Every structure is written in C-alpha cells, then in structure tokens.
Chain A
Amino acid sequence: MSRALDRTGIWIGWAFFADLANALALTFGYMFSRPVTMQYPDKEKWLPYSRYRGHHFLKRDEEGEIKCVACELCARICPCDCIEVIPYEDEKGNRRPAKFEIDMARCLFCGLCEDACPADAIALGQQYEFSSFSSSDLVIGRDDLLGKPGKAMTGGGVVAAHLNTEQDVLVETSEPQGYNWWRNIRRT
C-alpha cells in the first residue's frame, strides 16, 4: 500500500471519528471487565506478605520463656524513641525485661529494632488493624506484645472477611490463604 493511500485512510477515519469510536469501544470493554476493588472491610481483607512490617510482637523460646534479654539495643536504635525497656533479674539469674513498652503512635515501622535485636526476640508481624480513638491506648506493654500475631506464613492475597462492630471494630476472617488480587488487573 502506498503512503498516499494510507494517508487518505487516516483522513477518512478522522472525518468519521474513528479515534473517538476507538475510545468509546475501549471504555465499553472496560465496563464489562472485573472490578479490581478490594471490598475492605465489608467483604474482603488483605493478607500481608511475610516481609510485611506491621504490629510488633515478642517471641518466646522453646521453654516458653520470653527471648528478650533486655539489652535495650532496640530502644537505642529506635529513630523515634518509642521503645522503653526496664530490665530485671529473674529467679534463674537471667536478664529479662520487667517493662517493655512500645508507643505505637510514635513508631514508624522501620524495622530497625528487629535488625538490632541480638536475641531475635522482637519482630514486626502481620497485624495492621490497631487504630484507636486515644493515643494512650496505643502504648502496648510486654504481655500484649507476646500475644500479638507473628509474621504471615503465606500471604499476599485477598480473603473473604466480614466486618464485626458489635464490641469493637473487627474485620474477621477464617481463611488462611486468599486469591491473588493481581489476577483482576487488566493488561492490554
């Protein structure tokens, strides 16, 4: 085909709004593609990846004792100074934290405490729903930190969930692994 004919074709297309028709066809096609909306918190919820840095948790060793040796390295390295550790000596003669408080309102979830810990006692887990109406509720003590969920084992998926507002605002889910959210992304 000659270039002149090509050019006439473009002009004819332009005169009959071929470009506008293309755009209309595109949006019409999109109208029938699956929405990518994650219906959080009504119906669905995101399970984080295992690398996700959420709410801190403290680990226990095999005997069920707290791993933390209260060296206060985490409190030292913390860039926003939100960890407070007070050590004591337990009956076996080990150094343990008498008080281990994290002010979640100040924490920036950098994960430096996790890196600095020589005893592998603190880490940032998978929980991300801990908003609160008062900042004093966000100061979490040692025993609460021991009970927080750990790193996500699987993750990176969307699971069915439902919103429970009877007592507190909770997004409950029972599924351990969800579908890959990226499957609905349309790539053309």
Chain B
Amino acid sequence: MELVVALGLIVFKVALLIAILLLLPLPLTWLERKIAGHMQQRMGPMRVGWHGLLQPVADGVKLLTKEDHIPAEADRFLFKLAPILALAPPFVVFVAVPFGESVSVLGTEITLYVSNMNVALLFVFAVIGIEVYGVIFGGWAANSKYAVLGSLRTCAQMISYEIPMGFAVIGVVMLAQSMSLLDIVRAQANVWNIVYQPVGFFVFFVAGLAESQRIPFDLAEAEGDLGAGFHTEYSGIRFAFFMVSEYAIMLLTSVLAVILFFGGWNGVLVPLPPLVWFGLKVAFFVYVFIWFRFTFPRYRYDQLMAIGWKVLLPLSMANIIITGVAFL
C-alpha cells in the first residue's frame, strides 16, 4: 500500500512538473513580447484577449495547425528526432531540481522535489549536455546552409561554455561539501553563496546566457545573419518544440542560478513562504534574461570564443583556486 502511495505521488509530481514546464512558455512568451514592446515604447500584443493575454494561445493554435513541412533534401529521421532531443533534456533535468523542502498536505509530508540525488549537480550538467544534440541534428538534418552554420556555431558555443560553467559551480560545491542541490541550498541558510562567490556567479550567469542561447550569445539563431539559425527549416509543432525547449532552458538557468548562488528558497528580511521566495527569485532572473535580450546586441563569433576561453575559463579557475586557498 505504501509503495503504491509513494509511486502514485512520484507519478503525480512528474505529471505536474511536465504540465507546468509545458504551459509556462505561454505566459513567458506573452511577458517577453510585452516587455520588449514597452522597452521600445510600443505596447506589445493588445488585440487577443485583455491586453493580449490570449496571444500565446492564438500563437499555439497557429503553430499546431500549420503545415509540418520537411524539406525534400532533409534527413527525415534526424529531422524528426532533433526537436524531441532538444525538448527532452530540460524536462529530464528538472527531476533533480528541488523547489523547496516539503509541505504537509492532509498530515503527510510531501517533498517538493522528485528525487534528492546526491550528485544532482553532476546529473544536471550531464543531461543538459545532451541538449546540444537536438540543435546539431536539427541544423544538420535540414540540409540548409543557414541551419548548418547555426548548428556549427551552437556546437562550438555550447561545448566551450559548458567548461567554465562546470568550473564555476565547483566553488559552490566546495562551500556546501556536497553535490546535492538540496544540501547546497541548506548550506546557504545564513549567508547566500553570492557573497562568497561573486566571480563564480558572474561566470555561471554569463555561461548560462550562452548555454540557453539568449542574446547576447544567440549565435545559434542569429536572425540577422542566419535567417533563423538551426531551426530555419522547421515549422509548426516541431518549431514549437524548439521554442518550448528554449524557454525551459532559460527557466532552468534561472532556477540553477537561484539554487546555487541566491539561497534557493531561503528568504531575507521579509518572511514569505519558501516557495514564494523561490518563485520571486526565479521570476527576477527570467526578467533579467528578457531585459538583456532587448538591451544588448549580439556578440561576434570570435568575440564569443574569446570571452569563453580567454576570460571566463581563467576566471572560473582562479575562483576555484582562491576558494580552495581560503578553505585551507
């Protein structure tokens, strides 16, 4: 009986997580377009629903009813596989991400995470590494020069930025003496990691921007010079998969930044429920992502590489060394 309840709980949590992650891009696209509009003294979507609130639904219907076109010269198998490969990893990663300690419902303690892995951080980085295959396959299979260029750029970008990103979080792991995200948050109950690891956070955030392919590092898409980059040839629902994946990764980067450097669900000064604190912090980071997108231009490809290898990598290594010395 207990096993059934436990199993049911896990299934329920996973279903809830998937539902939230699939539905969250809807308000996020609306928010992004609204913020973009107001930053450019426009209004953003206004016509569908109150202040355009139903615009994402209209967009979704449009994407679902559009022709799902596969180019004649495309590698059909990889072309169909790529959106799934891009979409799945961000969802899988959230299995290891905690959203709080636990809440008691009807007398039973329900933990706010699907699983508490002791190597959660490693799992996150390992799985998110797979995401690059979706982009590479997508660009390659489309058999179009823009798509191939976009995916080649992404390939180099993702691989070079995963290294500083991985090094940047080592400082956090050293502070918490654990790779479990739950323990990392617990270790920040008094002082957030951002106080000890400002450089680590900087490297992590910049690398995170690059990993989620947002401006100023969105060379994979680069509307200006590549059409739409790796998803130039995608349409309809497969394009929607790539978009959902982009938003899920943006969300994941925000969640990781909050968990690793901003104390997770630990609040300061204002006593709010932990989940609210967590949501507020994540919302702030999502806003920062959107804010950056409509402020900065895109980096050139060689600048991108220079930042990754000549600035972020030495910085993250120095961060590890300094943290280690401080520990001794």
Q: Which residues of B contact A27 (CB under 8 A)?
A: 39, 291, 294-295
Tell me the bound Cα distance from A31 to B36 in angstroms: 8
Q: Tell me the complex Cα distance, A37–B41, Å.
A: 7
Of A20, A35, A42, the residue contacting B41 (CB under 8 A) is A35
Known A-B contacts A24-B291, A37-B43, A39-B46; the reply to A31 vs B296 at CB < 8 A is no
- A173: Cβ under 8 A from any B Cβ: no
Interface centre among A24, A27, A42 (most CB of B within 10 A): A27
Residue in contact with B38 in the complex, picked from A31, A39, A186, CB distance below 8 Å: A31
CB distance from B50 to the nearest CB of A (A): 13
- Residue-by-residue, is B11-48 near A (CB-CB < 8 Å gives 1, otherwise 0)? 00000000000000000000000010111111100110
Min CB distance A71 to B, Å, is 49
- Chain A residue with Cβ nearest B202: A17
Query: Quick check: A30 and B43 within 8 Å, CB to CB?
Result: no
The DSSP consensus for interface residues of chain B is loop
Map CB proximity to B onto A12-29 as digits: 1 under 8 Å, 0 otherwise. 000000001001101110
**Interface range on chain A (Cβ under 8 Å from partner):** 10 to 19
C-alpha gap A27/B294 in the complex (Å): 8
Contact B43 A28 (CB under 8 A): no
Give complex CA distance A37, B43 in Å: 7
Complex Cα distance A34/B43, Å? 9
* Residues in B whose Cβ lies below 8 Å from that of A184: 41
Shortest distance in angstroms between B291's beta carbon and chain A's nearest beta carbon? 7
Evaluate contact between B40 and A30: CB separation under 8 angstroms. Answer: yes
Q: Judging by beta carbons under 8 Å apart, are A42 and B296 in contact?
A: no
Q: Mark B275-317, 1 if CB is under 8 A from A, else 0.
A: 0000000000000000110111000000000000000000000
Q: Whose C-beta in chain B lies nearest to the C-beta of A24?
A: B295
Given contacts A23-B296, A24-B291, A42-B47, whether A31 and B42 have CB atoms under 8 Å apart is: no
Q: Are B43 and A33 in contact (CB under 8 A)?
A: no
Residue pair A36, B41 in contact (C-beta under 8 Å): yes
> In whole Å, how far is A182's beta carbon from the nearest beta carbon of chain B?
13
Given the complex of chains A and B, what is the CA–CA distance between A81 and B4 in angstroms? 85
Distance in Å from the Cβ of B27 to the closest Cβ of chain A? 18
Cα distance, A85 to B195, chains bound together (Å): 84
B residues near A23, Cβ cutoff 8 Å: 295-296
A-B contact pairs, 27 of them (CB 8 A): A23-B295, A23-B296, A24-B292, A26-B295, A27-B39, A27-B291, A27-B294, A28-B291, A30-B38, A30-B39, A30-B40, A30-B41, A31-B35, A31-B38, A32-B38, A33-B41, A35-B37, A35-B41, A35-B42, A36-B42, A37-B41, A37-B43, A37-B46, A39-B43, A39-B46, A184-B41, A186-B41
* A interface, CB within 8 angstroms of B: 20, 23-24, 26-28, 30-37, 39, 42, 184, 186
